[in-house]
Chains A and B, each alone.
Chain A
């Protein structure tokens, strides 16, 4: 393809440069990614508290994990949270992206910018403190609004004065879901980019065929952006299983009340960095890795028939 004469030497030269350029990544891979993955697997078969050398315990950590009640609770909390937060997040951000892609709406740029602001700080300490205040059962503005509109003294007297949110074990997970929904702007922008990639000719053809707005959504929009939905579904799922900061802040690092906010990674953190059970915590980390891997594979398999790719079998990514 290139010149004929010095080709082998040039190719070798180019390959050398390639290795030079990616060398920082290779070092990082060995020290901070690949290496730790193997080290963490090795640690999961030991008892280790950093101060003393690790002592091998075989499968003891795995056996203990399967007997651990709090482990099952944490799995349930994170699973329930993921089950609620991910689908709701997809629906909300897709709907908002479609509105922000609507022709003829004035100040679209301003709307897009303003809707994105919460996503800037989503998952941070400040937002956790903010939602604790908004959802405060006695003085919070949300319960004031609920009591004003539907509460005991409200316009619709349902005898409901608002849930106790972060203080009621049954409401803890939905409260965290609410907090995560507020940061929908990130996936909203991804959907917006996806929607703008749908050729307008497809909509026009559907319109000429007499398809209404709903059918255009079902038969054009949805199939065309289904790869994006799959992407946000998988990354959303992985992210939800790893939620830590809001749980740590809201529960003061203890996962209460009644373990209702003992998210998976919070329990992992407490075992590692509060109790110095690094071997046991590594077992938890590996278990999480396997859960995420299995869920991702299931999602990819299940989506095969539902996701539409424009050119089947091509290797766009690579």
Chain B
């Protein structure tokens, strides 16, 4: 609609025919201009919360509560980060989270690629029914399985509660969403590769390990990043299984954030929060190429 009103100044009635294509280009340029303006404006709104997080995290305790607020702190209190991250053992929390997320990422990359290879490239009776079951498990809310899974680990012999194993082991046994994503990707790899490798005597396992895995690095990169970011932030699972402060991941550590005087000193909260989300953002920027690829694979081909 904006375009029709905008078209008029560019299209004098007298010579409508020759200017028509020009007016379309003019319209497009105008649309692009409006879109750019909205995008810039929108970006300030979208990124403002993160800016405010950073700004608050660098203020002193009194300055953080000042009204009207200082947009930029008078002097940068970098010491907030040291205080917030050492009063609670965030070093331990970070180590725990790297261990947990790392184990899950390795498991999810290997197992889902293995399973997806079967679904994408091997024929067997009943395969389609099983694949429909994979998709059906996507629809079951996690809440239905959380309690029996907890009950299972609570009753198994040995020490399972208060360890990460109940959260790591299921990740090594496939995730419906990632099986689906990787299967779509594998369907796009020419089947001639398998055929010629088989003529040279490679086993199915060898084909998966030496041909499919190297060829699917971009998709596996996408899986690794999605998996890392998801498990870095995950909260409900650790909340249920981990109850020893020394074993907390960052999400639990942040939720139990304690300060020497009680209360909620926002400058500390924001410093700790920003430190916790920083690895996600860093990983995203390093590997965003893979990330977008993953979305495109699952979004377009699916």
Mutual binders A and B? yes
**Other than the known A31-B152, A114-B47, what 13 A-B pairs have Cβ atoms closer than 8 Å?**
A19-B118, A19-B124, A21-B204, A50-B155, A112-B292, A118-B46, A120-B277, A129-B270, A133-B53, A278-B151, A282-B147, A289-B141, A289-B143
Known: A33-B140, A244-B236. A40 touches B145 (CB 8 A): yes
A317 at the interface (CB under 8 A from B): yes
Partner of B35, one of A102, A116, A136: A102
Closest Cβ of chain A to B53, distance in Å, is 5
Known: A11-B123, A268-B143. A36 touches B49 (CB 8 A): no
A158 at the interface (CB under 8 A from B): no
Q: Are B149 and A124 in contact (CB under 8 A)?
A: no
**Which residues from A are CB-within-8-Å of B251?**
124-125, 245
**Which residues from B are CB-within-8-Å of A39?**
148, 151-152
Q: Are B2 and A213 in contact (CB under 8 A)?
A: yes
Q: Are B277 and A99 in contact (CB under 8 A)?
A: no
Closest to B149 in A: A36
B125 at the interface (CB under 8 A from A): yes
Size bin of chain A's contact surface: 35 or more
**How far apart are the CA atoms of A74 and B139 in the complex, in Å?**
21
Q: Are B254 and A14 in contact (CB under 8 A)?
A: no
A91 at the interface (CB under 8 A from B): no
Question: Can you list 30 A-B pairs, Cβ within 8 angstroms, ordered by A?
Answer: A21-B118, A27-B173, A29-B137, A32-B149, A35-B148, A39-B148, A43-B151, A99-B39, A103-B32, A104-B28, A104-B29, A106-B36, A111-B39, A113-B285, A113-B288, A114-B47, A118-B46, A120-B280, A121-B280, A124-B251, A124-B276, A130-B52, A131-B49, A141-B52, A182-B46, A194-B300, A197-B300, A238-B141, A284-B143, A289-B140
A59 at the interface (CB under 8 A from B): no
Q: Are B29 and A133 in contact (CB under 8 A)?
A: no
Q: Are A212 and B1 in contact (CB under 8 A)?
A: yes
Interface centre among B131, B137, B252, B285 (most CB of A within 10 A): B137
Partner of B39, one of A48, A100, A134, A141: A100
**Which residues from A are CB-within-8-Å of B274?**
126
A96 at the interface (CB under 8 A from B): yes
Known: A33-B145, A189-B295, A318-B128. A245 touches B1 (CB 8 A): no
B residues in contact (CB < 8 Å) with A: 1-4, 24, 28-29, 31-32, 35-36, 38-39, 42-43, 46-47, 49-50, 52-53, 56, 64-65, 67-69, 111, 114-115, 117-119, 122-125, 127-128, 130-135, 137, 139-152, 154-155, 170, 172-174, 179, 204, 208, 229, 233, 235-236, 239-240, 251-252, 254-255, 266, 269-270, 273-274, 276-277, 280-281, 284-285, 288, 292, 295-296, 299-300, 302
**Which residues from B are CB-within-8-Å of A207?**
24
Q: Are A249 and B35 in contact (CB under 8 A)?
A: no
**How far apart are the CA atoms of A124 and B253 in the complex, in Å?**
12
Q: Are B235 and A288 in contact (CB under 8 A)?
A: no
Partner of A318, one of B131, B148, B273: B131
**Which residues from A are CB-within-8-Å of B31?**
102, 104, 213
Q: Are A292 and B123 in contact (CB under 8 A)?
A: no
A72 at the interface (CB under 8 A from B): no
**Which residues from A are CB-within-8-Å of B255?**
125, 248-249
Known: A125-B255, A288-B144. A96 touches B42 (CB 8 A): yes
Partner of A99, one of B38, B56, B137: B38
The 10 A-B pairs at the shortest CB distance, nearest first, are namely A21-B118, A28-B173, A104-B32, A193-B299, A15-B124, A36-B148, A39-B148, A18-B124, A126-B273, A36-B145
**How far apart are the CA atoms of A111 and B128 in the complex, in Å?**
40
A236 at the interface (CB under 8 A from B): no
Partner of B229, one of A100, A120, A144, A194: A120
Known: A21-B122, A32-B145, A105-B35. A182 touches B49 (CB 8 A): yes
Partner of A285, one of B144, B273, B299: B144
**How far apart are the CA atoms of A106 and B36 in the complex, in Å?**
7
**Which residues from A are CB-within-8-Å of B252?**
125
Q: Are A24 and B111 in contact (CB under 8 A)?
A: yes
Q: Are A28 and B174 in contact (CB under 8 A)?
A: yes
**How far apart are the CA atoms of A11 and B117 in the complex, in Å?**
16
Closest to B118 in A: A21
- Per-residue B-contact encoding for A67-98, CB less than 8 Å = 1, 0 else: 00000000000000000000000000000100
**Which residues from B are CB-within-8-Å of A96?**
42
**Which residues from B are CB-within-8-Å of A102?**
31-32, 35
**How far apart are the CA atoms of A197 and B301 in the complex, in Å?**
10
Closest to B252 in A: A125
Interface centre among B24, B115, B151 (most CB of A within 10 A): B151
- Per-residue B-contact encoding for A277-292, CB less than 8 Å = 1, 0 else: 0100110111011001
**Which residues from A are CB-within-8-Å of B141?**
238, 241-242, 285, 288-289, 292
Known: A31-B152, A129-B269, A288-B141. A193 touches B174 (CB 8 A): no
- Per-residue B-contact encoding for A179-210, CB less than 8 Å = 1, 0 else: 00010000001100110110000000001000
